[in-house]
Structures are given as C-alpha cells and as structure tokens.
Amino acid sequence: MSDQLWWYATRAAGLMTWATAVAAVIVGLLLSTRVVKKPTGPWLLDLHRFLGGISVLFLLVHMGALSFDSFVDFGPRELFIPGESTWNTEAAAWGIIAAFTLILVEVTSLLRKWINPAVWRMFHAMSIITVAAGSYHAWLGGSDIDNPLTWVVAGAASITVVLLVGVRLRRTA
C-alpha cells in the first residue's frame, strides 16, 4: 500500500474515533441529565453503547494505520508510552492519554455488572477526559485543523458537551 493511503487511513480513523467518542458522551449526557425525556425506550442507551464500542474500533484502526505509515515511526513504544514519539511529542502523548481513558471507560462499561456502582461512575466520568484529551490531540497534531468545517463541528460538539456537563453538575449539586 502506498504511504499516502496509510496517511488517509490514519486521518480518517482518527477523526471517526473523535467523532464517535464525542457523540457517545453527548448521548450519555442526554441520558444522565434527562434532557431527553423518557419514552425514548432503550434505543438511546443502545446508541450510546454502540458509539462507545465503535469508537474503540476506530481507535484500533487509527493506531494500526499509524504503525504501518512509513512517514512517521510509530512502534509499540510510540503508540503506548506518552512522550516516546519523536513526531509531535505532545500531540502523541495526549492521544495516548485519550486512548487509555477511552479503553478504560469501555472495559469498565462491559464489566459494569461486577463493579461497584461508585467505582463504575468514576471510570465512566473519565469519558470527559477522553474527549478533552482527544480534542487537544487533534488540535495539536491533526492535519485537518485548518479546515473551517473542522472548527464548526468541533466547536458545536465542544459547546454541547460543556453545556450538558453544566446541566449534569447542576442536577447533582
């Protein structure tokens, strides 16, 4: 495969990881704040779970494509240890933090039956760290940062998350 194809695959999978993770957080906040009133049925919770799971799949594609891209050198150390990448060290570190928190949230969600509810909530709240770290990773290292459409989508998603987190915090206070 050509190097350019791996670059496009990395870029597309990274954008999709971010988009599906943010969408999962937005849907989760809509559920937990009860902004969306009941008779939604289980489909909204199913959507939330689907978005979280598929974001992990996009993350794996993103990391796999990075490892095959010959333009940058991403081996296991660069993919899993923050600060080890020679390419945009800070961006890569924030991406690794976002990846770890995304996986922690997803794994603990799958194990929810066997986890203390308070512990599960603590891990689930890390999804906000996932979105913040992933957004910062994209801002520092993303090749689409100069695209105005990126700013509109990222801005709208960020404002939505901040507003919903505010509603959520207000309801728990």
pLDDT bin (cut points 50, 70, 90) of residue 144 is confident
Asked if residues 157 and 22 have their Cβ atoms less than 8 Å apart, the reply is yes
- Three-point CA angle 118, 160, 133, nearest 5°: 65
Q: CA neighbours within 13 Å on the CB side: how many for 136?
A: 16
Decide which of 31 and 50 is more confident.
50
pTM for this one? Answer: 0.91
CA angle 39, 27, 32 (to 5 degrees): 70
Range of the domain at 9: 3-172
Higher pLDDT, 54 or 147: 54
- Identify whether the C-beta of residue 20 lies closer than 8 Å to the C-beta of residue 55: yes
Query: Which among 9, 6, 29, 12 has a CA at the least distance from the CA of 131?
Result: 29
Q: How many domains does the chain have?
A: 1
Residues 6+ apart with CB under 8 A from 145: 138, 139
Question: Over 90: is that where the pLDDT of 54 sits?
Answer: yes
Q: Which amino acid is at 160?
A: T
CB 128 within 8 A of CB 165: yes
